[in-house]
Amino acid sequence: MATPTPATAPTLPPPDDPLVADLVARHDADPERRWTETDVVALGYDPSTVRRAFRRHFGVTFLRYTRQARVGRAFQHLARTHRVIDAQLTAGFESASGFRDAFARLLGVAPQDLVRTHSPLRADWIDTPLGPMVAVASATQLHLLEFADRKALPRELQRLAKDGGGAPALGTTDAIAQVRDELAAYFAGRGAHFETPFVMAGTPFTRTVWRALREIPAGETRSYLDIARAIGRPTATRAVARANGANQIAIVIPCHRVIGADGSLTGYGGGLWRKQRLIAVEAAYAPAGHALDLGL
Protein backbone atom coordinates (compact mmCIF):
# COMPACT_ATOMS: atom_id res chain seq x y z
CA MET A 1 0.00 0.00 0.00
CA ALA A 2 1.49 3.32 -1.02
CA THR A 3 2.20 5.91 1.61
CA PRO A 4 0.45 9.23 1.01
CA THR A 5 2.75 12.10 0.18
CA PRO A 6 2.74 14.55 3.09
CA ALA A 7 1.63 18.07 2.40
CA THR A 8 4.34 19.43 4.66
CA ALA A 9 7.65 17.67 5.22
CA PRO A 10 7.98 16.71 8.88
CA THR A 11 10.82 18.42 10.67
CA LEU A 12 12.23 17.79 14.11
CA PRO A 13 12.39 20.97 16.16
CA PRO A 14 15.79 22.15 17.37
CA PRO A 15 16.40 22.06 21.12
CA ASP A 16 14.06 24.62 22.68
CA ASP A 17 16.31 25.01 25.71
CA PRO A 18 19.15 27.53 25.04
CA LEU A 19 21.40 25.56 27.40
CA VAL A 20 20.91 22.34 25.41
CA ALA A 21 21.26 24.14 22.09
CA ASP A 22 24.53 25.75 23.20
CA LEU A 23 26.12 22.52 24.41
CA VAL A 24 25.00 20.59 21.33
CA ALA A 25 26.52 23.29 19.10
CA ARG A 26 29.78 23.21 21.08
CA HIS A 27 29.93 19.43 20.82
CA ASP A 28 29.23 19.48 17.08
CA ALA A 29 31.95 22.11 16.54
CA ASP A 30 34.55 19.91 18.27
CA PRO A 31 33.23 16.32 18.22
CA GLU A 32 36.54 14.80 19.39
CA ARG A 33 36.61 16.79 22.62
CA ARG A 34 36.41 14.74 25.81
CA TRP A 35 33.89 16.61 27.93
CA THR A 36 33.91 16.50 31.72
CA GLU A 37 31.69 17.99 34.38
CA THR A 38 34.47 20.52 35.05
CA ASP A 39 34.13 21.75 31.46
CA VAL A 40 30.41 22.26 31.98
CA VAL A 41 31.00 24.25 35.17
CA ALA A 42 33.65 26.38 33.40
CA LEU A 43 30.95 27.50 30.95
CA GLY A 44 28.84 28.75 33.86
CA TYR A 45 26.33 25.90 33.84
CA ASP A 46 25.09 23.95 36.83
CA PRO A 47 25.82 20.24 36.19
CA SER A 48 22.54 19.04 37.71
CA THR A 49 20.58 21.48 35.54
CA VAL A 50 22.45 20.25 32.46
CA ARG A 51 21.74 16.63 33.34
CA ARG A 52 18.02 17.28 33.73
CA ALA A 53 17.82 19.33 30.53
CA PHE A 54 19.58 16.70 28.41
CA ARG A 55 17.57 13.86 29.88
CA ARG A 56 14.38 15.77 29.06
CA HIS A 57 15.42 16.43 25.46
CA PHE A 58 17.57 13.40 24.56
CA GLY A 59 16.88 10.84 27.26
CA VAL A 60 20.54 10.81 28.36
CA THR A 61 22.90 13.14 30.19
CA PHE A 62 25.19 15.49 28.26
CA LEU A 63 28.28 13.44 29.16
CA ARG A 64 26.55 10.25 28.02
CA TYR A 65 25.49 12.07 24.84
CA THR A 66 29.09 12.98 24.01
CA ARG A 67 30.46 9.55 25.01
CA GLN A 68 27.89 7.83 22.83
CA ALA A 69 28.94 9.99 19.88
CA ARG A 70 32.58 9.03 20.45
CA VAL A 71 31.73 5.33 20.53
CA GLY A 72 29.76 5.83 17.32
CA ARG A 73 32.82 7.30 15.60
CA ALA A 74 34.86 4.35 16.85
CA PHE A 75 32.23 1.94 15.55
CA GLN A 76 32.35 3.50 12.10
CA HIS A 77 36.17 3.59 12.08
CA LEU A 78 36.33 -0.06 13.09
CA ALA A 79 33.94 -0.98 10.28
CA ARG A 80 36.30 0.66 7.77
CA THR A 81 39.68 -0.46 9.12
CA HIS A 82 39.17 -3.32 11.62
CA ARG A 83 41.99 -1.74 13.66
CA VAL A 84 40.93 -1.51 17.30
CA ILE A 85 43.76 0.74 18.46
CA ASP A 86 43.12 3.24 15.64
CA ALA A 87 39.42 3.33 16.49
CA GLN A 88 40.27 3.89 20.15
CA LEU A 89 42.47 6.88 19.36
CA THR A 90 40.02 8.28 16.79
CA ALA A 91 37.32 8.28 19.46
CA GLY A 92 39.60 10.07 21.93
CA PHE A 93 40.02 7.24 24.44
CA GLU A 94 43.45 7.33 26.04
CA SER A 95 43.30 3.86 27.55
CA ALA A 96 42.41 0.57 25.88
CA SER A 97 40.49 -0.54 28.97
CA GLY A 98 38.39 2.64 28.99
CA PHE A 99 37.58 2.12 25.33
CA ARG A 100 36.62 -1.51 25.86
CA ASP A 101 34.43 -0.62 28.83
CA ALA A 102 32.62 2.20 27.01
CA PHE A 103 32.05 0.00 23.97
CA ALA A 104 30.83 -2.93 26.06
CA ARG A 105 28.45 -0.76 28.12
CA LEU A 106 26.79 0.50 24.97
CA LEU A 107 26.76 -2.66 22.84
CA GLY A 108 27.35 -5.49 25.28
CA VAL A 109 30.42 -6.74 23.39
CA ALA A 110 34.07 -5.73 23.29
CA PRO A 111 35.29 -4.01 20.10
CA GLN A 112 37.60 -6.87 19.15
CA ASP A 113 34.64 -9.27 19.25
CA LEU A 114 33.11 -7.37 16.34
CA VAL A 115 36.31 -7.71 14.34
CA ARG A 116 37.38 -11.28 15.06
CA THR A 117 34.24 -13.04 13.90
CA HIS A 118 33.07 -15.13 10.98
CA SER A 119 29.39 -14.44 11.54
CA PRO A 120 27.22 -14.10 8.41
CA LEU A 121 25.65 -11.03 10.03
CA ARG A 122 26.96 -7.47 9.74
CA ALA A 123 26.41 -4.58 12.15
CA ASP A 124 26.47 -0.91 11.19
CA TRP A 125 25.79 2.49 12.78
CA ILE A 126 23.03 4.71 11.37
CA ASP A 127 22.79 8.34 12.46
CA THR A 128 19.27 9.76 12.69
CA PRO A 129 17.76 13.02 13.98
CA LEU A 130 16.65 11.09 17.08
CA GLY A 131 20.06 9.66 17.83
CA PRO A 132 22.16 6.83 16.43
CA MET A 133 20.75 3.42 15.66
CA VAL A 134 22.47 0.06 15.34
CA ALA A 135 21.42 -2.13 12.42
CA VAL A 136 22.27 -5.83 12.12
CA ALA A 137 21.52 -7.70 8.93
CA SER A 138 22.46 -10.55 6.67
CA ALA A 139 23.10 -9.80 3.02
CA THR A 140 19.37 -9.62 2.33
CA GLN A 141 17.43 -9.33 5.61
CA LEU A 142 17.38 -6.98 8.58
CA HIS A 143 17.64 -8.77 11.94
CA LEU A 144 17.81 -5.80 14.32
CA LEU A 145 17.33 -2.04 14.25
CA GLU A 146 17.55 -0.33 17.62
CA PHE A 147 18.48 3.03 19.07
CA ALA A 148 22.03 2.72 20.33
CA ASP A 149 21.17 3.78 23.87
CA ARG A 150 18.33 1.32 24.36
CA LYS A 151 19.01 -0.64 27.55
CA ALA A 152 17.95 -3.91 25.93
CA LEU A 153 20.41 -3.57 23.01
CA PRO A 154 23.36 -5.43 24.60
CA ARG A 155 21.10 -8.35 25.49
CA GLU A 156 19.59 -8.38 21.99
CA LEU A 157 23.03 -8.38 20.36
CA GLN A 158 24.15 -11.22 22.60
CA ARG A 159 21.07 -13.23 21.65
CA LEU A 160 21.75 -12.62 17.96
CA ALA A 161 25.35 -13.72 18.46
CA LYS A 162 24.19 -16.92 20.13
CA ASP A 163 21.61 -17.70 17.46
CA GLY A 164 23.78 -16.62 14.53
CA GLY A 165 27.05 -18.30 15.38
CA GLY A 166 28.94 -15.37 16.84
CA ALA A 167 28.87 -11.62 17.26
CA PRO A 168 28.03 -9.83 13.99
CA ALA A 169 31.00 -8.48 12.10
CA LEU A 170 31.25 -4.75 11.53
CA GLY A 171 30.22 -3.65 8.07
CA THR A 172 27.21 -3.06 5.90
CA THR A 173 24.99 -5.07 3.58
CA ASP A 174 22.38 -4.31 0.94
CA ALA A 175 19.66 -4.65 3.58
CA ILE A 176 21.37 -2.11 5.86
CA ALA A 177 21.95 0.28 2.96
CA GLN A 178 18.27 0.03 2.03
CA VAL A 179 16.95 0.72 5.52
CA ARG A 180 19.44 3.59 5.91
CA ASP A 181 17.97 5.21 2.77
CA GLU A 182 14.41 4.55 3.92
CA LEU A 183 15.08 6.11 7.33
CA ALA A 184 16.59 9.18 5.65
CA ALA A 185 13.47 9.51 3.49
CA TYR A 186 11.22 9.01 6.52
CA PHE A 187 12.81 11.77 8.57
CA ALA A 188 13.07 14.08 5.55
CA GLY A 189 9.33 13.79 4.85
CA ARG A 190 9.66 11.83 1.61
CA GLY A 191 7.86 8.69 2.76
CA ALA A 192 6.95 6.46 5.68
CA HIS A 193 6.93 3.14 3.89
CA PHE A 194 9.65 0.58 4.67
CA GLU A 195 10.29 -2.25 2.23
CA THR A 196 13.57 -3.62 3.60
CA PRO A 197 13.10 -7.38 4.13
CA PHE A 198 13.42 -8.35 7.78
CA VAL A 199 13.39 -11.39 10.02
CA MET A 200 10.64 -11.80 12.61
CA ALA A 201 12.36 -13.69 15.39
CA GLY A 202 9.60 -14.41 17.87
CA THR A 203 6.80 -16.74 18.84
CA PRO A 204 3.83 -17.18 16.49
CA PHE A 205 1.77 -14.88 18.74
CA THR A 206 4.50 -12.22 18.79
CA ARG A 207 4.81 -12.31 15.01
CA THR A 208 1.05 -11.93 14.71
CA VAL A 209 1.19 -8.79 16.87
CA TRP A 210 4.08 -7.37 14.85
CA ARG A 211 2.19 -7.92 11.61
CA ALA A 212 -0.76 -6.04 13.13
CA LEU A 213 1.56 -3.16 14.04
CA ARG A 214 2.64 -2.96 10.42
CA GLU A 215 -1.00 -2.44 9.45
CA ILE A 216 -1.26 0.83 11.45
CA PRO A 217 -0.93 3.68 8.93
CA ALA A 218 1.68 6.34 9.58
CA GLY A 219 0.06 9.25 11.37
CA GLU A 220 -2.43 7.04 13.20
CA THR A 221 -2.24 5.22 16.52
CA ARG A 222 -3.90 2.22 18.16
CA SER A 223 -4.29 1.04 21.74
CA TYR A 224 -3.18 -2.35 23.00
CA LEU A 225 -6.85 -3.32 23.13
CA ASP A 226 -7.26 -2.28 19.49
CA ILE A 227 -4.40 -4.58 18.51
CA ALA A 228 -5.75 -7.43 20.63
CA ARG A 229 -9.13 -7.14 18.93
CA ALA A 230 -7.51 -6.87 15.50
CA ILE A 231 -5.77 -10.24 15.95
CA GLY A 232 -8.88 -11.90 17.39
CA ARG A 233 -7.59 -12.05 21.00
CA PRO A 234 -9.55 -9.28 22.78
CA THR A 235 -8.56 -10.45 26.27
CA ALA A 236 -4.82 -10.62 25.49
CA THR A 237 -3.94 -6.95 25.97
CA ARG A 238 -1.09 -7.70 28.38
CA ALA A 239 0.37 -10.28 26.03
CA VAL A 240 0.08 -7.75 23.21
CA ALA A 241 1.96 -5.22 25.33
CA ARG A 242 4.75 -7.73 25.98
CA ALA A 243 5.00 -8.56 22.28
CA ASN A 244 5.08 -4.85 21.50
CA GLY A 245 7.97 -4.37 23.93
CA ALA A 246 9.86 -7.33 22.46
CA ASN A 247 10.11 -5.68 19.05
CA GLN A 248 13.76 -5.26 18.04
CA ILE A 249 13.22 -3.66 14.63
CA ALA A 250 12.28 -0.13 15.67
CA ILE A 251 10.34 2.21 13.38
CA VAL A 252 10.11 -0.42 10.60
CA ILE A 253 7.82 -2.42 12.91
CA PRO A 254 6.09 0.67 14.34
CA CYS A 255 5.54 -0.21 18.00
CA HIS A 256 5.70 3.55 18.69
CA ARG A 257 2.20 3.85 17.19
CA VAL A 258 0.65 1.99 20.14
CA ILE A 259 -0.58 4.23 22.96
CA GLY A 260 -2.71 3.87 26.08
CA ALA A 261 -6.45 3.38 25.83
CA ASP A 262 -6.89 6.87 27.30
CA GLY A 263 -4.69 8.41 24.60
CA SER A 264 -1.63 8.77 26.80
CA LEU A 265 1.86 7.73 25.75
CA THR A 266 2.97 4.45 27.27
CA GLY A 267 6.31 2.69 27.58
CA TYR A 268 8.73 2.67 24.65
CA GLY A 269 12.14 1.01 24.67
CA GLY A 270 13.72 3.95 22.89
CA GLY A 271 12.34 6.40 25.46
CA LEU A 272 9.01 8.23 25.65
CA TRP A 273 10.66 11.39 24.31
CA ARG A 274 11.44 9.51 21.07
CA LYS A 275 7.97 8.03 20.91
CA GLN A 276 6.49 11.51 21.15
CA ARG A 277 8.77 12.81 18.41
CA LEU A 278 8.14 9.88 16.10
CA ILE A 279 4.41 10.50 16.39
CA ALA A 280 5.09 14.19 15.70
CA VAL A 281 7.11 13.31 12.59
CA GLU A 282 4.29 11.10 11.34
CA ALA A 283 1.58 13.71 11.87
CA ALA A 284 2.46 15.09 8.43
CA TYR A 285 1.76 11.68 6.89
CA ALA A 286 -1.68 11.32 8.47
CA PRO A 287 -4.84 11.42 6.37
CA ALA A 288 -6.92 14.52 7.09
CA GLY A 289 -8.59 14.30 10.49
CA HIS A 290 -6.50 11.38 11.76
CA ALA A 291 -3.46 13.09 13.28
CA LEU A 292 -3.11 12.54 17.01
CA ASP A 293 -3.11 15.70 19.10
CA LEU A 294 -0.47 15.34 21.79
CA GLY A 295 0.10 19.02 22.19
CA LEU A 296 3.22 18.88 20.03
Q: What is the pLDDT of residues 148-202, one digit of tens each?
A: 888 888 888 888 877 766 678 888 899 999 999 999 999 988 889 899 999 988 8
Mean pLDDT within 7-21: 63
If you classify domain 19-116 with CATH, what class do you get? Answer: mainly alpha
19-116 shares its CATH topology with 204-285: yes
The domain limits of the chain are 19-116, 204-285
Q: Which residues contact 196 (CB under 8 A, 6 or more apart)?
A: 142, 175, 178, 179, 182, 252
Q: Which residue has the higher pLDDT, 165 or 209?
A: 209
Cite the active site residues: 255
pLDDT at 270 over 70: yes
pTM for the model: 0.79
Q: Longest Cα pair distance anywhere in the chain, in angstroms?
A: 59
- % of the chain with per-residue pLDDT over 90: 39
Per-residue confidence (pLDDT) for residue 5, from 0 to 100:
40
Q: Which residue has the higher pLDDT, 114 or 152?
A: 152
Per-residue confidence (pLDDT) for residue 235, from 0 to 100:
93
3-class secondary structure, 59 = coil
Instruction: Given CATH 3.40.50.970, say whether it is the number of domain 204-285.
Output: no
C-beta of residue 224 within 8 angstroms of C-beta of residue 244: yes
- For residue 242, CA distances in Å to 114, 253, 281 come to 30, 14, 25
User: How many Å apart are CA 159 and CA 136, to the nearest integer?
Assistant: 12
